[in-house]
């Protein structure tokens, strides 16, 4: 069972004071929007000029590990959003999520294109044991967008997408 840090005790997180404030404002904005997590991020991406492909799914059905797909340059980024403000994702959960994303039927169709596929798990916090495995994840085109990167992704998606993946991949 994941540990559940108190959101108000942000001192235990490796965030700057500015990021803590941005996260607090994003949380308020999200809660006031009345939207689901995926719909809220979709709105932020659309405002930044991206049209994410949201997979058709029923509210009660399993999404198969993929929430939305974004195209940036010649990359297709398969995204799973775990926007839990009160919990951390640990190594076992990350491996399971990345596995579900990789084996998703929609991803199989994309693999037939010439574009490179990247996988992104978007989550505010992760357990310390994930950082030890991060290079293994990234070597296999699996990326964690977490902590400071999570906040940058939500506050300025176009800059983040165009620079982060360009720097990481090219």
Range of the domain at 99: 37-169
* Orientation angle between helical segments 91-102 and 128-139, nearest 10 degrees: 30
Statement: residue 24 has pLDDT above 70: yes
* pLDDT above 70: percentage of residues in the chain: 76
2 occurs within a structural domain:
no
Per-residue pLDDT tens digits for 28-39 = 998 999 998 888
71 occurs within a structural domain:
yes
What's the total number of domains in the chain?
A: 1
Per-residue pLDDT tens digits for 111-163 = 877 788 889 988 877 766 676 666 677 777 888 888 888 888 988 888 888 88
3-state secondary structure 86-123: CCCECHHHHHHHHHHHHCCHHHHHHCCCCCEEEEEEEC
Phi/psi-derived region of residue 64, left when phi > 0, alpha when psi is between -120 and 50, beta in every other case = left
Q: Identify the CATH number of the domain in which residue 74 sits.
A: 3.40.91.50
15 occurs within a structural domain:
no
Let me know: does 138 contact 146? Beta carbons within 8 Å. Answer: no
13 occurs within a structural domain:
no
26 occurs within a structural domain:
no
19 occurs within a structural domain:
no
Q: Which pLDDT does position 33 carry in this prediction?
A: 94
Q: What is the pTM of this model?
A: 0.78
Strand partners, 53: 69
165 occurs within a structural domain:
yes
CA distance linking residue 43 with residue 37, whole number of Å: 10
3 occurs within a structural domain:
no
CA distances from 42 to 17, 45, 89, 111 (A): 26, 5, 22, 23
CA torsion, ordered 27, 33, 35, 40, to nearest 10 deg: -60
């Amino acid at each position: 069972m994941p540990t559940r840090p108190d959101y108000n005790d942000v001192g235990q997180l490796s965030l700057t004071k500015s990021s803590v404030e941005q996260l607090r404002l994003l949380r308020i904005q999200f809660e006031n929007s009345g939207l689901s997590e995926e719909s809220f991020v979709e709105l932020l991406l659309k405002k930044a000029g991206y049209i994410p492909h949201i997979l058709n799914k029923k509210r009660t059905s399993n999404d198969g590990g993929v929430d939305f797909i974004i195209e940036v340059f010649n990359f297709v980024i398969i995204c799973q959003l775990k926007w839990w403000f009160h919990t951390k994702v640990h190594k076992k959960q990350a491996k399971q999520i990345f596995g579900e994303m990789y084996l998703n039927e929609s991803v199989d169709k994309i693999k037939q294109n010439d574009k490179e596929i990247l996988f992104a798990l978007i989550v505010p916090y992760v357990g310390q044991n994930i950082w030890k495995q991060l290079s293994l994840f990234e070597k296999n085109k699996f990326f964690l967008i977490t902590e400071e990167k999570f906040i940058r992704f939500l506050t300025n998606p176009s800059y983040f997408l165009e620079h982060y993946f360009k720097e990481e991949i090219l």
